[in-house]
C-alpha cells in the first residue's frame, strides 16, 4: 500500500500575511536557543530556566510546600520561576523553595481560598459570555465578561465577585463576544464546516490520527483536506462542551504518514513532545485564517461559558485568533505541543482573550500519543525538546479547522461523542 502525506496548504497559511512572517522571524532563528542557567550546585538563586523546566519545578514545589504553595508563574524576562507562598509560622518553606531555584513571593490568598472562590462563581455566576481563571501574578481570580454581559447579568456577576471579599477577584470587560473560532474557508472541511488540524498523533490502536477542537468533532463525523473533497478522516472521540474542547480524528487510510511538525508556511517546526502550560510562558499559534501569532499564557484551568455551554480546564492567553483558527496548534519556540485553539473574543487587529485545550489532557483522555509512531511523549509529560521521536503533528497545512457551521452544530452535539468502528 502506498503511503500518502496530507498536502500542506501553504496558500491557506500565507493569509496570515505580515502577522505570520513577523512571528516566524521571532520564532525560527531562536528555535534551539538554550535558556538554561546556572548548574544545580550553583550557590545563587533563583536559577534561570526554560519554561518547560519551570513547569516541572513548579509541580515539585507544589508537593514539597503543601498548603503553603499558592501558585506560580514564569517570569519570561528574567527566565525564572516565581513561586507564591502563603506566610506562616514556618519560614522553612521559603528556604526550601529558594534552594530549589525559585524566586519566592509572599501572598495573601491560598489556593484553597481561590478554589473556593471559583466554586462560588460556578454556582452563582455561570453566565454565557463569562470566564474565570486563577492569575498567580496577581494572586486573584481573573474574571472576564464579554460584550453580551449587560444589565441584570452584569449586576449579578459584579455582586458575586464582591461577595468573594476584597482582594479575591478582579473583573475585566472584553469588547468582543466569546465564541468558538469557526467559519467557512480553506482548511479541513466537512460540509459547511471548516476547522484546523492541531497535532498528528497515534491512536491507542496504533492507527494514525490527529487532534482538533471538540466543537469541530461534534459538528461532523467525517473530514476532508479539500472543500467538497472525499473524506480522509473520521471522528473517533469528541468532547464539547464540558470537561474540555478536543477531538480525536483517525485517518481512514492506515498507511497515512502523519509527520510530527507544525507547518509555518515556507518552513516546518519539528514537535518533540507535549508539555504543560505555565503562566507567563511565551507561546505561538498557527491558524488557517491568521497564520502564525504569538503571545503569553495568562491563566490555567480556565472556565469559559460559551453560548453552547460551559467548558472547563482550558488555558487562557492573549494570543490573537479569528474565525477559522479553531483546532489549530499552540506550541513553544523549541517545539513543544501545548494546546488546541478553542475560542475567545476579539481579533488580530484589536486583540482579545483566547482559550486553548491543553494537549496533555486531550492525549490522556483519548488514549493517544504524540507522533506517527507513538514514540513521542505521553500526555502529562514535561516534554523536553527532542525527547520524543515524532511528537506533536503537523498543523496539516491542512489549515485550521473552523467551521462556519462548527459553532452552531457544536451546540447540538452530544458531550463525549464517540465512534467505536469506522
Closest CA to 73 of 356, 407, 298: 298
- Residues written for the chain: 422
**Residue 125 C-beta-side C-alpha neighbours within 13 Å:** 29
Reply yes or no on whether 174 is catalytic.
no
- The catalytic residue among 183, 326, 345, 410 is 326
Query: Active site residue: 72, 131, 190, 215, which one?
Result: 215
Residues whose CB falls within 8 Å of the CB of residue 299, separated by 6 or more in sequence, listed in order: 133, 134, 135, 142, 279, 315, 316
Say how far apart CA 18 and CA 290 lie, in whole Å: 9
Judge contact between 36 and 64, C-beta under 8 A. no
Q: Any catalytic annotation for residue 326?
A: yes
Catalytic residue among 146, 186, 236, 245: 245
266 is catalytic: no
φ, ψ for residue 62, nearest 5 deg: -60, -40
**Cα–Cα distance measured from residue 325 to residue 302, given in angstroms and rounded to the nearest whole number:** 19
- CA-CA distances (angstroms) from residue 320 to 28, 267, 279, 353? 19, 22, 17, 7
Q: What angle do CA 81, 261, 373 make, to 5 degrees?
A: 105
Cell of 183: 467559519
Give me the active site residues, please.
215, 245, 326
Amino acid at each position: 500500500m502506498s503511503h500518502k502525506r496530507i498536502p500542506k496548504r501553504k496558500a491557506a497559511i500565507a493569509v496570515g500575511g505580515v502577522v505570520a512572517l513577523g512571528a516566524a522571524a521571532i520564532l525560527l532563528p531562536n528555535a534551539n536557543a538554550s535558556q538554561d542557567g546556572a548548574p544545580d550546585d550553583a550557590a545563587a538563586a533563583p536559577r534561570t530556566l526554560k519554561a518547560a523546566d519551570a513547569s516541572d519545578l513548579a509541580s515539585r514545589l507544589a508537593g514539597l510546600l503543601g498548603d503553603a504553595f499558592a501558585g506560580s508563574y514564569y517570569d519570561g524576562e528574567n527566565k525564572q520561576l516565581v513561586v507564591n507562598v502563603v506566610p506562616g509560622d514556618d519560614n522553612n518553606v521559603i528556604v526550601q523553595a529558594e534552594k530549589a531555584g525559585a524566586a519566592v513571593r509572599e501572598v495573601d490568598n491560598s489556593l484553597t481560598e481561590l478554589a473556593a472562590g471559583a466554586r462560588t462563581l460556578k454556582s452563582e455566576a455561570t453566565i454565557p459570555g463569562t470566564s474565570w481563571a486563577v492569575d498567580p501574578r496577581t494572586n486573584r481570580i481573573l474574571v472576564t465578561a464579554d460584550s453580551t454581559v449587560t444589565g441584570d447579568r452584569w449586576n449579578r456577576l459584579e455582586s458575586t465577585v464582591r461577595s468573594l471579599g476584597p482582594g479575591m477577584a478582579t473583573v475585566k470587560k472584553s469588547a468582543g463576544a466569546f465564541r468558538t473560532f469557526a467559519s467557512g474557508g480553506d482548511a479541513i472541511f466537512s460540509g459547511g464546516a471548516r476547522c484546523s488540524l492541531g497535532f498528528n498523533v497515534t491512536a491507542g490502536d496504533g492507527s494514525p490520527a490527529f487532534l482538533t477542537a471538540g466543537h469541530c468533532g461534534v459538528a461532523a463525523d467525517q473530514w476532508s483536506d479539500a472543500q467538497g473533497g472525499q473524506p480522509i478522516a473520521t471522528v473517533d472521540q469528541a468532547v464539547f462542551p464540558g470537561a474540555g474542547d478536543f477531538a480525536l480524528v483517525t485517518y481512514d487510510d492506515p498507511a497515512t504518514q502523519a509527520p510530527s511538525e507544525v507547518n509555518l508556511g515556507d518552513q516546518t517546526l519539528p514537535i518533540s513532545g507535549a508539555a504543560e502550560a505555565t503562566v507567563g510562558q511565551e507561546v505561538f499559534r498557527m491558524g488557517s485564517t491568521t497564520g502564525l501569532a504569538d503571545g503569553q499564557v495568562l491563566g490555567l484551568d480556565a472556565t469559559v461559558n460559551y453560548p453552547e455551554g460551559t467548558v472547563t480546564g482550558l488555558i487562557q492567553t492573549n494570543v490573537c485568533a479569528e474565525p477559522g483558527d479553531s483546532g489549530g496548534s499552540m506550541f513553544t519556540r523549541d517545539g513543544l505541543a501545548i494546546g488546541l485553539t478553542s475560542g475567545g473574543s476579539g481579533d488580530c487587529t484589536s486583540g482579545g482573550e483566547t482559550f486553548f485545550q491543553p494537549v496533555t489532557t486531550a492525549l490522556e483522555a483519548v488514549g493517544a500519543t504524540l507522533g506517527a509512531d507513538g514514540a513521542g511523549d505521553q500526555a502529562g509529560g514535561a516534554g523536553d525538546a527532542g525527547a520524543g521521536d515524532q511528537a506533536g503533528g503537523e498543523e496539516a497545512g491542512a489549515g485550521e479547522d473552523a467551521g462556519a457551521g462548527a459553532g452552531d452544530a457544536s451546540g447540538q452535539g452530544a458531550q463525549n461523542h464517540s465512534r467505536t468502528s469506522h
